[in-house]
Amino acid sequence: MKIEERSLVINIDNLPNCDTMDAKDLVNRDRSSIWTKHCYGEDLSIRVAGREGGYHSSPHIHDSEQLNFCADGEMWIYVENDGYHLRKGDLMRVPRNMVHWAWNRSDKPCVLYESHAPGNIGAPRVRDTAGPLFRANEPLPTGRYPMVSWLSTEYAEKVEKGNRPSVEGGLVAHFDEVKDSSHAIVSEGNGFRSRFVYGLDSSFLVATQDRGCRIRPHLHGCEQLMHLISGELWVFFPDEAYHLHKGDFMRVPRLTPHWSWNSGAKPCELFEAHAPLLDPSEAEHGKALLTGDEAAIPLKAARTFWSPRNLVERESELMRRSSNSA
Ligand SMILES: [Fe+2]
Ligand SMILES: [Fe+2]
């Protein structure tokens, strides 16, 4: 099924299941046990993926940086010779062009939230099932997106035979190792708390925004893709308003002034990814997911800038005109 409709917002229920893999890309499994829903912008793609117990992908590489959040269950992710055991709440990065694969060694399903920068939609059959987060009158990007290259299973066999314990630190951060940050530049008070991690090309946060909390108008030189996990949230641009509901994906284009307000009765939860990465110095407790060799590489981060505060005075008018306020 091809996505016909174009908008900056698409709900997960309106996306087809994406065959990111053929059966031949799985080790000892058919593909009936996996599902993926994903969307893309200019510089990023984000996905929500379900992986049943026993799921085991083949080794592969792609020229995209991958950030993962284990939202439920558990998963081993292998990068070259190292295995990382992710449990609920853990965050991890796979650097560009490194051999990696995943294995759910439990008998329970795992849910992963992921981002890829650039977007991991190189194969036409994958791109055709991804939601394009672009306005109807906005041209779709014409650049090439990286392909996934599937590799011999011998990479996995060799490492898994070693059955070594999970590697700690570096590319992985367990739930209790990432403290809440309050993004000083955009939030006031403690109404917005996020676990913020970053790599060389992108950043990723899992956040809670309290009822009534407003993120002040700002812009940044990076694209922002977001997914509302629960609750509801209004996102405003100077001339548009979008009322997000559970399951919505949304794109905020680079350098677009935007702000948000949780008008719901309870806190909302969301995850967001940015490429290039948001400036880590703006997040109090952000955590780098870098190898020892990468730690010395200067980061090309995007700063956040304040937009005029009085933009919020437009909210009521924008909400009245909003096309998706239902
Ligand atoms: Fe991957
Ligand atoms: Fe933002």
Q: What is the pLDDT of residues 127-146, one digit of tens each?
A: 888 999 999 999 888 878 99
Residue 282 CA, ligand 2 centroid: distance in Å:
12
pLDDT digits (tens, 9 = 90+) for 199-216: 999 999 999 999 999 999
pLDDT exceeds 60 at position 51: yes
For the CA of 225, the nearest ligand = 2
pLDDT at 13: 94
CA angle 237, 244, 15 (to 5 degrees): 115
Calculate how far, in angstroms, residue 270's C-alpha sits from the geometric centre of ligand 1: 22
In the chain, what are the domain boundaries?
9-168, 178-325
Which one of the ligands is nearest to 59 CA?
1
Instruction: Say how many Å lie between the CA of residue 60 and the centre of ligand 1.
Output: 7
* Mean pLDDT along residues 145-152: 92
Tokens 């677009």 — which residue?
256
Over residues 236-249, the pLDDT tens digits come to 999 999 999 999 99
- Looking up tokens 């939860």 gives 269
130 Cα to the center of ligand 1, angstroms: 16
Confidence of residue 261 (pLDDT cuts 50, 70, 90): very high
Question: 9-168 belongs to which CATH class?
Answer: mainly beta
Shortest-distance ligand to the CA of residue 102: 1
Cβ-contact 46, 71 below 8 angstroms? no
pLDDT at 1 exceeding the cut of 50: no
Q: What is the largest CA-CA distance in the chain?
A: 62
Q: State yes or no: pLDDT of 25 exceeds 70.
A: no
CA–centroid distance, 208 to ligand 2, in Å, is 14
Superfamily of domain 178-325: Jelly Rolls (2.60.120.10)
| 258-275 residues labelled b (16+ CB within 10 A) or e (exposed) | bbbbbbbeebbbbbbbbb
Distance from residue 326's CA to the centre of ligand 2 (Å): 24
The yes-or-no answer to whether 9-168 and 178-325 have a common fold is: yes
pLDDT above 60: residue 161: yes
Q: Above pLDDT 90, what percent of the chain? A: 78
Q: What is the pLDDT of residue 100?
A: 97
Cα(203) to centroid of ligand 1, in Å? Answer: 16
Evaluate if residue 160 carries a pLDDT over 90: yes
Q: How far apart are CA 218 and CA 237, in angstroms?
A: 10
Tally Cβ neighbours within 10 Å of residue 150: 16
Pairing mode, strands 192-198 and 203-209: antiparallel
Distance 75 CA to ligand 1 centre (A): 13
Q: Look at residue 218 and tell me whether its pLDDT is greater than 50.
A: yes
